[in-house]
Chain A
Amino acid sequence: MVIPQQLPLNIRLRDDTSFATCYPGDNGLAIQSLQSLARGEGEQQLLLWGGAGMGKTHLLQAACHLAGEQGQPALYLPLLEIRDYGVGILEGTEQLGLICLDDIHLVAGDAAWEFALFDLINRQRQSGGRLVMTSNDNPRQLAIDLPDLVSRLLWGPVFQLKPLGDAAKIRALRLRAERRGLDLPDEVGQYLLRQYPRDLAYLMDMLEELDLASLTAKRRLTIPFIRSVLNQS
């Protein structure tokens, strides 16, 4: 029998990337430093590094939200998206209170971009603005040719983001699910971690897919339901 599907209205709350929705795990210090910077109280510059799925993007966006709440104009710039615009997009950004540059490793080895970042850090220092950067690796190990840039990346505190353990990943998933009004039983979280890549970003995307599927099919998240949804996709 074919069960007619109800199409969901596109009114699902987009997960707000705030510090409240961020599960700190072992990264409490990095997060506190970042919050303090975004409030305009702490460091002028921070660099956070770690592999994919550690929540770097989430943290940068949360910092922008927080700065915005304090009346500080903030700009989130993901290098993946903006590098094709050319380096001109960094011009004049030191007039803003906070710049968050995501994934700076993507431009390592690109002379024009390396220089533009170097120049931005200089301007930011001079204007008193704040700057947060992320990379996928220790900044001392990035394949950056411009030594002037490397030394400037290390000017402020550098934090390695630590991955969450499996139990913490389940708690983070449950926290996110709760905010969507979705019940994610523990055994379902464990099932996801047993069966699929345990990269948190991947799991969060999967959660989004499951949320949509559960809305459409009006079903709770059970293991058989999840299996049918994920097998289809």
Chain B
Amino acid sequence: MNANVWQQCVSKLQAELSDQQLNTWIRPLHAREENGTIQLFAPNRFVLDWVKQHYFEHIVTLAGSVSGNPDLHISLVIGNGDLSQAAPPKIDNHSSAVNLPTFQNNLNPNFTFSTFVEGKSNQLAKAAAIQVAENCGTAYNPLFIYGGVGLGKTHLMHAIGNQILTQKPDAKVVYLHSERFVADMIKALQHNAIDAFKSHYRSVDALLIDDIQFFAGKERSQEEFFHTFNALLESQQQVILTCDRYPKEVDGLEERLKSRFGWGLTIAIEPPELETRVAILQKKAEQAGIDLPSEVAFFVAQRLRSNVRELEGALRRVMANAQFTGQPITLDFAKEALRDLLALQDKLVTIDNIQKTVADYFKIRISDLLSARRSRSITRPRQIAMALSKDLTNHSLPEIGDAFGGRDHTTVLHACRKVAELRESDQQIDMDYTNLHRTLST
């Protein structure tokens, strides 16, 4: 059979489908052609269902025509054809959907000790991590790092892995999130590949599992992990775990696991204090080649207190604004850039809310605003409230008129024009309007 049937099909589809369709649905498919059949792998069920409904029949016809074999068998499954070829040979086609993490390919090279900003809150954890990296399997085993979200647990874990690899490039270091461990185990069970799963995880030099609190309540996964954990510890292979709290405090985790987690070293990372947050921002700016004035770093660090990830997001927003406007990063510039993030939720502005705020401001009753009274002390606030309703809500003018005692939309239109005129000519009205607008929208 022509080995490139699928490629020829893609070329033909290219002429028929838009780029968007091709890139979204066809290119994500991986094909494996063997023994007169083509197996197409879709990354997930959604893509699979979509392709099945919209393109599969046509693909079958196309493949039959380009291969010259109208009976060519084509199947569509969930999985990844490329990775599965690297899987152990005893795993058959179907269990190939179990993609065990390959060795040494899943550490983030940017997470090293040199990019980790040390402060009082994390210096013990960093020192312990360096010890573990330099004495893999023998210093503290397991190393258990715990602390709240976004404090650098994952960074430290990757830094250990990267350091181990620097010292011993052929070491097998596997990092994964606990959820992946659970998902892989479930797939392995479904596909009778649990032995491959076990031997995979037991053959590593260092196993790094993030966020083990997500093992809570998953008994079968805990059982499997318990055995893997014991096997690794017995043969002095390093285990590093992170968790969002002290192991004894994780509900739904077996006692024997909690107790074993305490065999090595359990160490906390606390939220960074202000100086460390400033240093983190400056380090990240430096990595991005940006000059970050210290007053800006202090401003951001004061506003975002508990979480390094948020700090990074905020800095990225400031840098994006600077890049696209070409302006230098100053304190005012940073305040403006972070308004979207720091401002509390924009209040839901309703006509009711506007009427109440305007009535309070001018010290009149809401019923006056809705009444037919025409004295200036009432009509001005009413007109201002109508203009604010038009500016701050998406209601139609007839709806706004209705909400003000059943007035016609032309009255609303007149009010809006009048207010615009008065704001030009009367400073007091302009100030009143601006104050109310600010009160309502921030």
Contacts and interface: CB of A to CB of B under 8 A. Distances in A.
Contact of A198 (B79, B214, B324, B394): B394
Nearest to B318: A157
Contacts of A33: 320, 324
Contacts of B307: 151, 154
Interface string B388-416: 00100011111100000000010001000
Nearest to B108: A126
A73 interface: yes
Contact of A73 (B23, B324, B340): B23
A155 B28 contact: no
Interface in A35-55: 42-43, 49, 53
Contacts of A125: 108
B310 interface: yes
Given A194-B397, A194-B413, A29 B324 contact: yes
Contacts of A91: 43-45, 78
Interface stretch (A135-143, A180-188, A210-218, A220-228): A135-143
Contacts of B313: 154-158
Interface in A127-156: 137-138, 140-141, 147-148, 150-152, 154-156
A131 to B, nearest CB: 13
Contacts of A147: 148-149, 244
Contacts of A72: 23
Contacts of A155: 309, 312-313
Contact of B28 (A28, A75, A156): A75
Nearest to B175: A126
Contacts of B211: 148
A85 B45 contact: yes
Given A88-B45, A90-B44, 16 more contacts: A33-B320, A64-B20, A68-B23, A75-B24, A85-B46, A91-B78, A95-B43, A95-B80, A126-B106, A138-B341, A140-B341, A154-B313, A157-B316, A197-B395, A197-B396, A198-B396
Contacts of B106: 126
Interface string B14-53: 0000011011100110000000000000111111010000
Interface in B351-382: none
Contacts of B28: 73, 75, 95-96
A165 to B, nearest CB: 8
Contacts of A152: 309
Interface in B324-353: 324-325, 339-341, 343-346
A151 B45 contact: no
Contacts of B23: 64, 67-68, 71-74
Nearest to A195: B396
A71 B179 CA distance: 31
A92 B98 CA distance: 11
Contacts of A158: 313, 317, 340-341
15 contacts: A64-B20, A65-B20, A67-B23, A68-B19, A74-B20, A90-B44, A92-B78, A93-B44, A95-B43, A148-B244, A150-B149, A151-B307, A160-B340, A195-B397, A198-B394
Contacts of A89: 44-46
A28 to B, nearest CB: 8
B150 interface: yes
B325 A29 contact: yes
Interface string A12-42: 0000000000000000110011000000001
Contact of A43 (B42, B320, B325): B320
B24 A64 contact: yes
B340 A119 contact: no
B309 A151 contact: yes
B310 A154 contact: yes
B412 to A, nearest CB: 9
Interface string A90-114: 1111011000000000000000000
Nearest to B321: A29
Interface string B282-326: 000000000000000000000000010110111011001100110
Contacts of A53: 394
A139 B80 CA distance: 33
A33 B320 CA distance: 7
B177 interface: yes
Interface of B: 19-20, 22-24, 27-28, 42-47, 49, 78-80, 106, 108, 148-150, 177, 179-180, 210-211, 214, 244, 307, 309-310, 312-314, 316-317, 320-321, 324-325, 339-341, 343-346, 390, 394-399, 409, 413
Contacts of B20: 64-65, 68, 74
Which among B80, B341, B343, B344 has the greatest number of chain A C-beta atoms within 10 A?
B341
Given A73-B23, A91-B45, A155-B309, A122 B320 contact: no
Contacts of A71: 23
Interface in A163-197: 163, 166, 194-197
Contact of B394 (A141, A157, A199): A199
Given A33-B324, A154-B309, A158-B340, A137 B345 contact: yes
Nearest to A75: B24
A119 B179 contact: yes
Closest 9 CB pairs of A and B: A92-B43, A160-B340, A89-B46, A157-B317, A68-B23, A151-B150, A154-B313, A141-B345, A151-B309
Contacts of A92: 42-44, 78-80
A80 interface: no
A197 B44 CA distance: 40
A160 B321 CA distance: 13
A194 B413 CA distance: 8
B78 to A, nearest CB: 7
